[in-house]
Structure 1
Amino acid sequence: MDEAYWCEGCGVELQTENPDRPGYVPPAALKREHVICKRCFRIRHYNEVTPMEADPDEVLSMLREIGEKEALVVQVVDLFDFTGSWIPGIQRHTGGNPILILGNKLDLFPKSAKVQRLKEWVYRSAKELGVKPAEVVLTSAAKGYRLDEVVEAIDKQRQGRDVYVVGTANVGKSTLINRLLKEFGDGEESITTSPYPGTTLDTIHIPLDDGKEIVDMPGILRRDRMSEWVDPKELKAIIPDQEIKPKVYQLNDGQTLFFGGLARMDYIEGERQPFVCSVANSLYIHRTKLEKAEEIWVKHRGELLIPPEEPDSLPPLRRHSFHLNGTQKQDLVISGLGWIATGKARGQVDLWVPEGVRVEIRPSIL
């Protein structure tokens, strides 16, 4: 190949020499109008699991380049995993460019959820993380919710500048851009999307009518999310793709909830109160007595308690203790998995998650 070509699906430079390396296409495929690499073709047509990661240092280097340009930065965050999908220190990488936050996956929340309250929560959370957003828009790339608001906000905030779309892996950046292209562009899906981390391997440039462009950046991987540790074939069991149906458990102290074989919550001390679990509908939750918990965990993990089918694929569990303040409902958040909303009673709860997975407690968002 004397001339350089890039895959329209993931942005990687194409090559015709080695089928086992990124960017491979058969030579004849270069004659097509829309060229995608072998990996993107397999993902699109066969949903094949082909995990591959963009180099984190290279992605951060690309991110820093934004700070040297006049641009609008659109950070896509996952409303279902806000803190886990945030780019740490994003304001240090993007200079003084304005940041528009698009809260994606609104469709996962119950229809009773108050959108304005969620939006205010995103504003507050962003400010606590050091960013004063130019604007916050909530949307669903998968369902096409509020796309008019997304387009209007981007057009208003970019003021004739390029637009850089950034986010961590699996927040739905490429799905969002594809939806916008379908609704307001040429009607064709261009960017490969999948539930696997690292689908977009390099920057993808989409020209705008005024000579500027939208740039889709590779997703940044965060190792502190449960979804980064689960085998790609089991991701669908923990990443929700439809409205969550919260599961309510009235617990006395001395009871335990297992979330598949991934995590465990022990209610150590406190009055009887509800614990409302917002996780993927397909994830199995098992309730038992605390005194039996260890025996059940050892005996049934990988069989009754799945995923994972291979428990040794995850790091050992680490305990995190939380005191419930008894003044408000609180969310116990397991990054990349979901959260458990408590009642208003005082109590002590232990969360057990694989070493390195982020957990936190926050005022309830619903």
Structure 2
Amino acid sequence: MSLICTGCGAPLQMDTEDAPGYITNEAFMREQPVCQRCYRLIHYGQFQPMAIPEETYRQVVMKALARPSFVLYVMDLFDVSGSIVPGLTGVLRQHDVMIVANKFDLFPKQTADEPVKSWLLREARRAEIPASDAVLVSAKTGYHMDELVEQLEARARKKQIVVMGMANVGKSSLLNALLSRLDPEQTRFTTSAFPGTTLGSMAIKLGDNGFTIVDTPGLMGKHRIQDRVCKASLKLIMPTERLRPRVYQLQKGQSLFLGGLARFDFIEGPPQSVVVYVANQLRVHRTKLQQADSLYQRHLGGLLTPPCVSCDEGLRTLVPKNVSFTEGRPVDLAIPGLGFLRLSGHAIKGVIHLPKGVTVNVRNALL
């Protein structure tokens, strides 16, 4: 069988039910067959987690980039540090790369485009992503999608368009929004709120537009918290509506818990505000530093949730890391797959506690 699932891109097969691409004989006879996993996700909302190995992911992307391409490097603007794909800087330099920052609809209404775009390109250079430009979009609302189409028509007419990015940055939703504008009759990609929906590479030739779009699978990794929580906990940490920043006036000797997944201790410095950007449904708890350890032990999985008993066991032990800043510009403490804390720019010494394998990213403040 040489056909691939039109939903997730996995090669269709009838041999192993638990493997990617499994399809029954009856389903295979349909006009546009999808694998059993995609069918259950589309019609019943049942998600079966599957992750491709990093080396397999790299091979798929390298194959897609075997000829000159216009690369749409899709990032989640809410989780820029968790959107950086490792190990592909060298091969990307051979192509025309544009960053597409999705989920702009999550940010406060007064957020201006140009400062965020400039900030994003600076962060891309810092991460050695060879991007020539960036566009801020929302696949959900359609924001700037027409501008993206104009960019494609101007810059990618004679090249294949390769779409790449980490899992759950909204690649499939973005592609569906593009298809609705470029070729409304084209089959749509399977989407879900869970990472790792797309499992293989898919090429689509669009009708009168002359485009060939190649979708690659999203990479999952242990460095992002969202890839290590269970399905129920994922709903608590993934924002689905415009963020409501939470401002805490902190002084030394106080701690902030982000659920039970992260903790920030204010050790030394003048009283100052800390702005928390996480999903609105995630509970943030302030307490005294001297009570923080005992509170964590007593209330992990209850008051401090997630993680829960179904999440990765490694999330239940937090590792401390010292952070300190002199008086200067505001900075973010970005936690891949969870959100970020905005520090005001006053001198401060603190400790950030995160699960093993998750590293805080210190950056100039996004907002």
Interval of TM-score (by shorter of Structure 1 and Structure 2):
over 0.9
Q: Residues of 2 paired with 1:312 and 1:234: CA distance? A: 11
> In structure 2, do the counterparts of structure 1 residues 76 and 312 end up closer, same or farther at CA, with 3 Å as the change threshold?
closer
Give 3-state SS (helix, strand or coil) of 1:137's partner: strand
Q: Residues of 1 paired with 2:104 and 2:111: CA distance? A: 9
Q: Give the equivalent residue in structure 2 for 1:239.
A: 238
1:293-313: CA deviations, max 9, x gaps?
011000000111101112772
1:107-160: CA deviations, max 9, x gaps?
111111111100001111112222342221110112211111111112222141
Amino acid of the residue matched to residue 86 of structure 1?
I
- 5 Å matches for 1:1-366? 3-187=1-185, 190-208=188-206, 209=208, 212-310=211-309, 313-315=313-315, 316-366=317-367
Q: Residues of 2 paired with 1:92 and 1:230: CA distance? A: 32
Q: Residues of 2 paired with 1:327 and 1:22: CA distance? A: 50
Range with bigger deviation, 9-18 or 304-313: 304-313
Q: Residues of 2 paired with 1:121 and 1:141: CA distance? A: 21
Please report the TM-score for the alignment, with normalisation by the length of structure 2: 0.94
1:53-107: CA deviations, max 9, x gaps?
1222111012223443021111001111112101124331235111011011101
Amino acid of the residue matched to residue 314 of structure 2?
L
Q: Could you list the runs of 5+ residues in structure 2 that have no partner in the other structure?
A: none
Q: Could you list the runs of 5+ residues in structure 1 that have no partner in the other structure?
A: none
Q: Residues of 2 paired with 1:25 and 1:54: CA distance? A: 19
> Does the 8 A contact of 2:107 with 2:243 survive in 1?
yes
Q: Residues of 2 paired with 1:76 and 1:292: CA distance? A: 41
Q: Residues of 2 paired with 1:173 and 1:245: CA distance? A: 25
Please report the TM-score for the alignment, with normalisation by the length of structure 1: 0.95
Identity value in percent: 38
Q: Residues of 1 paired with 2:312 and 2:287: CA distance? A: 23
> Does the 8 A contact of 1:68 with 1:95 survive in 2?
no
Q: Residues of 1 paired with 2:284 and 2:217: CA distance? A: 34
Give 3-state SS (helix, strand or coil) of 1:134's partner: strand
Q: Residues of 2 paired with 1:181 and 1:248: CA distance? A: 40
> Does the 8 A contact of 1:11 with 1:201 survive in 2?
yes
Amino acid of the residue matched to residue 44 of structure 1?
I
> Does the 8 A contact of 2:21 with 2:37 survive in 1?
yes
